[in-house]
Amino acid sequence: MTTRAARVSVFRIAVGILAFSKFLIAADDGPPHRPSSAQFTFDSPVRDVWVGPDDEFVAVGGKNFVAFADGTGPPELQRGFEGSPWSVWGTASEDVFVSTYNGLIYHFDGATWNLVVESSFGPWELWGSSERDVFAVGTDGAIMHFDGEDWSYLDSGVSERLVAVHGNSSTNVVAVGETGIVLRFNGKNWSRIETPFDGQINGVWVAGENDMFFVGGSGLIARFNGNDWTRMIPAFDGWFEGIHGLSDDMVVAVGTKWPSLEAFVLRFDGTSWSELDSLSNLHHFGSVAFGPSGNPYVAFATRESSEWKSFNDGLLIQYFEKDTNGSIGNGE
């Protein structure tokens, strides 16, 4: 199936509602202050977000939508995919990959969505180092790679479901998943990194060649230096699903507490983790991104009640480090 859309220019949106309401970042020339924000509302939860080199932005999820915005008005929603969009990654507004829950991968060239992968190993999680080096990880240990021309399967050596992938180069890529599985790609082969954890690892951010952050269930935040593992905070009732960083002193992790189902946000400042906010009306769906400007983007979804029985609204927000003049879209 092929869906079509108008050419998209630089777009800028953000994800969440009310997140980081206590997140104060010190400006270089003055005291800390509350960040300003731009906000959008969708009819279903946002599952994943991607921020490009010029702060262009794509969000996917919920009731079969991919959202684009150009910074001058409401985001453009595109629908018609064969399956709910699940993960997104790209290099520019005319080079975006989107996977779906049922194992498909689409590519957007700025004018047309083309179906490029059909498989039974979805949902795929996506990450790449360039337009000629894109990885997708999925169920049964499946890993695919795009070299700029073709998609092909790589041998992972495992059968566990893989749920996240990230790297800092084409020769330092890490995939994580069920039963504490951690795999590392050196540009030629995948090998297993032994871990002291047996629960599912939900997210990974690769800060450097031997500097990796991981999040998972039981409040897991861990760091690996190439030789040793460090659990960075005590275990607690809750789980993390997303982590991303700008530098080793600006790392953000997001998750959900149990049994309250409060969404929460933590930040690592290079020394310790601190909770930025707890949000009782939100459930987190697992995505964090940083734009080149250094502004954090966080994905959340609201829930109707504490019974956690349905999720209706997807609320998208971008938080700015400093107060700005004017607005983006319908934000203030």
Share of the chain above pLDDT 90, in %: 45
pLDDT-derived band of residue 52, with 50, 70 and 90 as boundaries? confident
Q: pTM for this one? A: 0.81
Cα separation of the two ends of the chain: 38
Q: What are phi and psi of 201, to 5 degrees?
A: -95, 125
Give the residues across from 104 on adjacent strands. Answer: 118
Tell me what pLDDT residue 74 has: 66
CA 58 to chain centre: 11
pLDDT-derived band of residue 329, with 50, 70 and 90 as boundaries? very low
The whole-angstrom separation of Cα 105 and Cα 152 is 13
Taking a C-beta distance cutoff of 8 angstroms, is the pair 183, 193 a contact?
Answer: yes
What does the pLDDT average to over 281-309? 59
What does the pLDDT average to over 16-37? 30
| Region of poorest pLDDT, from 59-73, 198-212, 247-261 | 59-73
**Closest by Cα among 124, 136, 50 to 93:** 50
pLDDT, mean over the chain: 77
Q: Does the domain formed by 3-319 have CATH 2.130.10.10?
A: yes
pLDDT over 70 (residue 15): no
Tell me what pLDDT residue 299 has: 61
The count of other CB atoms within 10 Å of the CB of residue 157 is 12
Please report where in the chains the tokens 């993960």 appear, as a residue: 87
What does the pLDDT average to over 225-252? 90
pLDDT-derived band of residue 271, with 50, 70 and 90 as boundaries? very high
Higher-pLDDT residue of 312, 330: 312
Give the residues across from 151 on adjacent strands. Answer: 146
Long-range CB contact pairs, 114-121, < 8 A, 24+: 114/2, 115/1, 115/2, 115/82, 116/146, 116/151, 117/144, 117/151, 119/144
Pairing of strands 273-279, 282-290: unpaired
pLDDT over 50 (residue 21): no
The whole-angstrom separation of Cα 289 and Cα 51 is 7
Tell me what pLDDT residue 36 has: 45
Taking a C-beta distance cutoff of 8 angstroms, is the pair 60, 314 a contact?
Answer: no
pLDDT over 80 (residue 132): yes
pLDDT over 50 (residue 247): yes
Per DSSP, the three-state class of 183 is strand
